[in-house]
Amino acid sequence: MEDLLGLLRIHVQRGVNLAVRDVVSSDPYVVIRMGKQKLKTRVIKKNLNPEWNDDLTLSIADLNLPVKLTVYDRDTFSLDDKMGDAEFEIAPLVNAVKMSLEGHPNGTIITKVQPSRQNCLSQESCIIWNNGKVVQDMFLRLRNVETGEVELQLEWIHVP
């Protein structure tokens, strides 16, 4: 762990309008991957608009690795069905963390990341100074699926 730059707390808030993978609903959960790390949320039964409110924490050693997110439908008797995927970069958040922001009022918008063909953002993502922390809210549009978005909040955690 000598290369550890910090920790990234990912608050997986909710899914919106997720795809049906069972008869009329799905049992969704989220898998987050970065490099060799893999984290999962809990499964929310029979819900296309699940509220996970789960916190997952990644150890960050390489700022250039994308964070990959995949939504699955939990199945009992067969392999879990894929319900779409997305990925995002953490460089804008880390660049904001490097600024000297102490003394700024809560809610100060440090920077905004615009949706583009190169990212999975479905709307503008603001990086904000809040209660002495740098946080980034994002809505990710899922790829390789007919419908669905996932709402996240990222928070950088310094490691002394």
Q: How far apart are CA 23 and CA 16, in angstroms?
A: 18
CATH of domain 6-90+138-157: 2.60.40.150
Each domain of the chain, given as residue ranges in start order, spans 6-90+138-157
pTM value > 0.75:
yes
Helix (H, G, I), strand (E, B) or coil at 151: strand
pLDDT at residue 1 tops 60: no
Average pLDDT (103-129) is 93
Q: Could you give the residue ranges of the DSSP H alpha helices within 4-108?
A: 91-97
pLDDT above 70 covers what percent of the chain?
99
Task: Specify the amino acid at residue 116.
Answer: S
Q: pLDDT for 16-61, tens place per residue?
A: 999 999 888 999 999 999 999 999 999 999 999 999 999 999 999 9
Q: How far apart are CA 104 and CA 107, in angstroms?
A: 9
The span from the first CA to the last CA of the chain, in angstroms, equals 13
pLDDT at residue 129 tops 80: yes
Contacts of 85 (CB under 8 A, 6+ apart): 68, 69, 70, 71, 142, 143, 144, 145
pLDDT at 102: 81
Describe the strand order of the beta sheet including 37-40 as a list of residue ranges: 37-40, 28-34, 67-73, 81-88
Q: pLDDT for 117-127, tens place per residue?
A: 889 999 999 99
Contact status, residue 112 vs residue 121, Cβ threshold 8 Å:
no
Specify burial of residue 127 (Cβ count, 10 A radius: 0-12, 13-18, 19+). buried
